[in-house]
Amino acid sequence: MAIREIVKYGDPRLVAKNETVKVFDDPGFAALIQDMKETCWAAPGVGLAAPQIGVNLRVAIVDLSIGKDPSQVLVLVNPVVVDAQGLIRDEEGCLSLPDLVETVARPEKVTVEAFDERGNRRALDGRGLLARAFCHEVDHLDQRLFVDRLSSLKKGLVLRQVVKRQKKGAW
Ligand code: NI
């Protein structure tokens, strides 16, 4: 098992199409899930999507406890947001855009249908931060970063900052 490198904004793998997972009973898939958990916890972050470690599959991890409470680790395979209610504006960041925090509107409450790592289908309800994390990770699987949820003016300003920081070698 290993902590993998997190790819950053500008890497083509963050915007490549992510394939649906069809085979669950596979040692490579089990290793991917374990590596994603370890990478997410080490970062540390509350969520990680497979394309963020350069793997273009529809898989994400959400763990609001960041490795402290095993009951909170959620593996989302082929997730779909099937219901969304309310709207909350709150601060959000992303491991692929380090040190950047912006206010993003997200649903207050969502229901996500997804398979777990063993291939069992289930529905997960989340509100508040959990709903935000679900939406953020499903967005990654749809090749969308949180900055894509900002107004085009704000997004332009933010991304100019990002490119400047990248040129300086900050990340
Ligand atoms: Ni992210």
Alpha helices in the chain (DSSP H): 27-42, 129-141, 152-167
Confidence tier at 119 by pLDDT (50, 70, 90): very high
Tell how far the Cα of 14 is from the centroid of ligand 1, in angstroms.
Answer: 10
Rounded to an integer, the average pLDDT of 16-38 is 97
- The pLDDT > 90 percentage for the chain reads 94
Residue 31 lies in a domain: yes
* Residue 2 confidence (pLDDT): 93
How far, in Å, is the centroid of ligand 1 from the Cα of 130? 14
* pLDDT score at 36: 98
Q: Considering 91, 108, 117, 137, which one is annotated as catalytic?
A: 137
* pLDDT tens sequence across 55-78: 999 999 999 999 999 999 999 999
Cα dist from 130 to 102, 110, 111, 124, 163, whole Å: 17, 9, 10, 10, 30
- Domain for residue 3, yes or no? no
pLDDT exceeds 80 at position 171: no
Residue 29 forms part of a structural domain: yes
CB-based contact 111:81 (threshold 8 Å): yes
| 145 inside domain | yes
Residue 1 has a pLDDT of 78
Please say if the pLDDT value at position 112 is more than 80: yes
CATH label of the domain that carries residue 17: 3.90.45.10
Q: What is the pLDDT of residue 100?
A: 94
CA of residue 53 to ligand 1 center, whole Å: 11
In a domain, 146, yes or no: yes
Distance CA 170, CA 79 (A): 33
Q: Closest by alpha carbon to 72, among 138, 13, 118, 124?
A: 124
Task: Compute, in angstroms, the gap from residue 97 CA to the centroid of ligand 1.
Answer: 8
Q: Higher confidence at residue 53 or residue 167?
A: 53
Task: Give the pLDDT of residue 52.
Answer: 98
Residue 151 backbone dihedrals phi, psi, to 5 degrees: -60, 155
Region 8-12: mean pLDDT is 95
What mean pLDDT is reported for the chain? 96
If you measure from the C-alpha of residue 45 to the centroid of ligand 1, how many angstroms do you get, rounded to a whole number?
9
Q: Decide if 57 is inside a domain.
A: yes
Give me the number of domains the chain comprises: 1
Cα–Cα dist 100/102, whole Å: 7
Q: Which residues 6+ apart lie within 8 Å of 119 measured at CB? A: 24, 25, 77
Residue 51 CA, ligand 1 centroid: distance in Å: 10
4 part of a folded domain: no
What is the pLDDT, as a whole number, of residue 170? 77
The question of whether 117 is a catalytic residue gets the answer no
pLDDT score of 39: 98
pLDDT at residue 51, as a whole number: 98
> Is residue 6 one of the residues assigned to a domain?
no
Residue 169 banded pLDDT, cuts 50, 70, 90: confident
The domain in which residue 157 lies consists of 12-167
Residues 8 and 98 sit within 8 Å (Cβ to Cβ): yes
